[in-house]
Amino acid sequence: MSMVATAGADALVVTRGQTRAGEAVPPASGAPLAAGSLRATDAAAPLLTLQDISLSFGGVTALQAIDLQVTTGEIRAVIGPNGAGKSSLLNVVSGLYRPDSGVVLLGDKGFRHVPTSRLAALGVARTFQNLALFKGLSVLDNVMMGLVHHRRAGFLRQIVVSPRARREEADSRAAAEAMIEFLHLEPAKDRIAGGLPYGVQKRVELARALVARPKLLLLDEPFAGVTLTEKHELAQHVRNARDTYGTTIVLIEHDIGVVMGLSDRVAVLDHGRKIADGTPDQVRADQAVIDAYLGVAHEGETELVA
Amino acid sequence: MSALVEQAQLVKTSWLTPSRAGIALLFVAAYGIVPFTASGYLLDAILTPFLALALAAVGLNVLTGYAGQVSLGSAAFMAVGAYAAYNFNLRIPELPLLFSLVLAGVVAAAVGLVFGLPSLRLRGFYLAVSTLAAQFFVQWALTKFAWFSNDNPSGVIDAPPLSIAGALLTGAPGRYVFCLTIVVVATFLTVRLLGSQSGRNFIAVRDHEVAAKVIGVPVLRTKLLAFGVSSFLVGIAGVLWAFAYLRTVEPDGFNLDRSFQILFIIIIGGLASIRGSFLGAAFIVVFPLLLSRVGEALLGNVFDSGVLEMSQRIVIGGLIIVFLIAEPKGLVALVDRLEEQVSRHAGRLKRRFI
């Protein structure tokens, strides 16, 4: 699983040693990377590793032999056109899909099928593309739900409010309130989540995911459907979360503009294959990526310019 | 607008909120005034069944309104409660009535858990149909096996007189106060549960089961807890129905119509609302009486009991349709809006005079 760092203005920086034959990898050209950011990430342990993940739905291949390594503390984007398999990838990592083959490593624990019900206990949180808030609960209650896997008191203790139940409730509330403040959601704290504007709901979902201080946070199209201002706000919040809590973040997006400025590294999927993986600059200049996004016209880079 | 918010905050910080004051007033009336002034007819034929149905509705609301699991088997769990309490009372005579009552709830909860197992796999309509199994099975078992009704050929049971700590509760006021106390305690505990993490889990499973699972809600346990708690409450409501209201019941009294009646109560009153359960139960109990009075006044002798029953069904059916379209949140939403308007007017008056 060694990471081979090769570098160049128009090449991938990080490809796996055993690159699969037939995978579209542009030739590496240029000198080895100067001492810098990637050296550091090289040394850090990978938090999430996907090995040879394949997934198909009744003959339609969603993911094909995907390898991916996410290093502790990085913001990693997975981009690709519609139907490239991005959401499937996230669903495999969160255990909603069982891959046909391959292994998901969370830290040093390997899974053929990630157990969704233990996901939070494993330190993984996620958001959903089309919002998955509990619409009937207030913002505070939604965020408190993010800590549910810490709760131990049974329902009888909760009814009689035993000391333990009271302590757990108070701890959850305090943590949730701190997270609400962190994401500037105080004005909406006691509002019912279902009635809030879309952009605010997105932030509430982020708060619910972050409140348990996950090691790994998966964001499924966090910027889809929000206004440009909200996009920049959200991006700032994501960056703050990483900087403040050290959360490793994997985000899926097809809006490349925001992603390029936000991510440390970007992986590109197309038709279920990983076609590129590297720093934003490298990916932006990658011919395979340009082809995937813009068809075969090699000149137009407009959509990739951040 | 900001003044309104300020006022709301002021009210919130003080201990005596308007809703608490309202509940306190209700308590004073329910315990201090009604038992001494109300007629036997009002107590026996209106208030006691209202309380029993309200508790059943609270129970179903826990399951359907809060946890989002549709059930058409409520009457079955009422029957389980009633027959279990009858048998505990009959076969262990030294057991105090309150113990039989709680044990009956536990038995109903156990049966509810069994019939809740399909919820782990089934959703929505499919689950509703599988809860019908409970409805038909329980009714069949109670008629088929004479042991449940102490060898009565048609499964009829006669409830024992109510007694608490040796004191016999005869007469309408006694039965009413007994019912009221049980309903108040059970509702209070339910409100506590719903306000706790378990209550949040219910709503989480209802609103987004996948997300709930991802953040670590024990989905299976939460659903089973909802079935258990719901059946417990509905079972106790069944005991009240049989012991305090009808006093002689047969399995047929707990048929599918009763299940639907309880479902209508929570739909009309308001899903996921305790107050809604009470409002809906009041409506279902009082409405037929109102209708018969109005019918009598308008149409005289033409309005006999057959016509009454038919018109009741038609009007209630129509109302449910109107409600689902105009106010899906039920009576409780209407009352909330009314309260809001009243408080706004009160605020305006206050500002003008102070």
Is B217 near chain A, with CB under 8 Å? yes
Distance between CA atoms of residues B352 and B341, nearest Å: 17
Q: What is the pLDDT of residue A130?
A: 87
Residue type, A152: R
> Does pLDDT of A36 surpass 50?
no
CA distance A139 to B37: 46
Q: What are the residue boundaries of the structural domains of chain B, listed by start?
A: 38-353
Residue B293 token pair: 């009075």
Please tell me the predicted confidence (pLDDT) of residue B15: 66
Distance, CA of B55 to CA of B11 (rounded, Å): 30
3-state secondary structure of A189: coil
Among A35-44, A120-129, B87-96, where is mean pLDDT lowest? A35-44
Task: Name the one residue in this structure whose structure tokens are 């016999």.
Answer: B168
The mean predicted confidence, pLDDT, of chain A is 83
Interface check for A136 against chain B (CB to CB < 8 A): the answer is yes
Q: Scanning the structure block, which residue is given the tokens 């910080």?
A: B13
Residue by residue, DSSP assigns B68-128 as ----S-HHHHHHHHHHHHHHHHHH-TTS-HHHHHHHHHHHHHHHHHHHHGGGGT--HHHHH
Over the range A218-236, which residues count as b (16 or more CB within 10 Å of their CB) and which as e?
bbbbbbbebeeebbebbbe
Is the CB of A94 inside 8 Å of chain B's CB atoms?
yes
B343–A contact, CB cutoff 8 A: no
pLDDT above 80 for A127: yes
Q: State whether residue A212 sits within 8 Å of chain B by CB.
A: yes
Of A134, A159, A208, the CB nearest to B196: A159
Quick check: B257 contacting A, CB < 8 Å? Answer: no
Interchain CB contact of A172 with B (< 8 Å):
yes
Alpha-carbon separation of residue A164 from A57, A149, A154, A161, B215 (angstroms): 46, 15, 10, 8, 21
pLDDT of residue A292: 80
What's residue A18's pLDDT? Answer: 35
* Residues of A in Cβ contact (< 8 Å) with B333: none
| pLDDT score at A33 | 35
- Cα(A215)–Cα(A249) distance, rounded to whole angstroms? 8
| pLDDT tens by residue, A209-234 | 999 999 999 999 998 888 889 899 99
B22 in reach of chain A (CB within 8 A)? no
Taking only the tens of pLDDT, chain B with its 354 residues reads 444 444 444 444 556 777 788 889 999 999 999 999 999 999 999 999 999 999 999 999 999 999 999 999 999 999 999 999 999 999 999 999 999 999 999 999 999 999 999 988 888 889 999 899 999 999 999 999 999 999 988 889 999 888 887 778 888 999 999 999 999 999 999 999 999 999 999 999 999 999 999 999 999 999 999 999 999 999 999 999 999 999 999 999 999 999 999 999 999 999 999 999 999 999 999 988 887 788 778 877 776 777 777 877 788 788 778 877 888 888 999 888 888 888 888 888 877 776
Extract the runs of DSSP E, i.e. beta strands, from A21-174.
46-57, 60-71, 75-79, 101-106, 109-111, 124-126
Using the Cα atoms of residue A205, residue A192, residue A199 and residue B209 in order, give the sign of their dihedral. Answer: positive
- Inter-chain residue contact B215 with A158, CB threshold 8 Å: no
Pairwise CA distance, residues B261 & B72, whole Å = 10
| Residue of A306, A286, A284, A278 whose CA lies nearest to A41 | A278
* CB within 8 Å: B215 and A212: yes
- Cβ <8 Å between A119 and B214: yes
B210 neighbors A129 (Cβ within 8 angstroms): no
Residues of B in contact with A116 (CB under 8 A): 213-214
A127 close to A219: Cβ distance less than 8 angstroms: yes
Checking if the pLDDT of A8 tops 50, the result is no
Beta bridge partners of B163: B168
Of A137, A159, A209, the CB nearest to B200: A137
Looking only at the bridges linking them, the beta strands covering A124-126 and A216-220 are parallel
Q: What is the dihedral of CA A56, A58, A61, A62, to 10 degrees?
A: -60
d(CA B226, CA B235): 14
Check if B9 contacts A (Cβ < 8 Å): no
* The pair of three-digit structure tokens given for residue B140, joined into one six-digit string: 């069949």
B308 CA to centre of own chain:
24
Query: Is A159 close to B193, i.e. CB distance below 8 A?
Result: yes
- What are the structure tokens assigned to B193, written together? 């549960």
CA angle B249, B100, B80 (to 5 degrees): 45
Residue that has been written with the tokens 């590109």 in this structure: A268
Whether the CB-CB separation of A163 and B196 falls below 8 Å is answered with: no
**B193 touching chain A per CB within 8 A:** yes
Q: Which fold has domain B38-353?
A: ABC transporter involved in vitamin B12 uptake, BtuC (1.10.3470)
**Chain B residues lying within 8 Å of A212, measured CB to CB:** 215
Structure tokens at B320: 């449910």
Q: Which of A37-41, A71-75, A284-288, B145-149 has the lowest mean pLDDT?
A: A37-41
CA contacts within 13 A on the Cβ side of A260: 14
A39 vs A102, more confident: A102
CA distances from A179 to A133, A144, A172, A212 (A): 16, 10, 11, 9
Chain A residues with CB inside 8 Å of B210's CB? 96, 128, 132
Among B275, B276, B241, CA closest to B259 = B241
User: B307 to chain A nearest CA, in Å?
Assistant: 41
Supply the pLDDT for residue A5: 37
Task: Among B188, B201, B214, pick the best mutation site for testing chain A contact (most A Cβ within 10 A).
Answer: B214
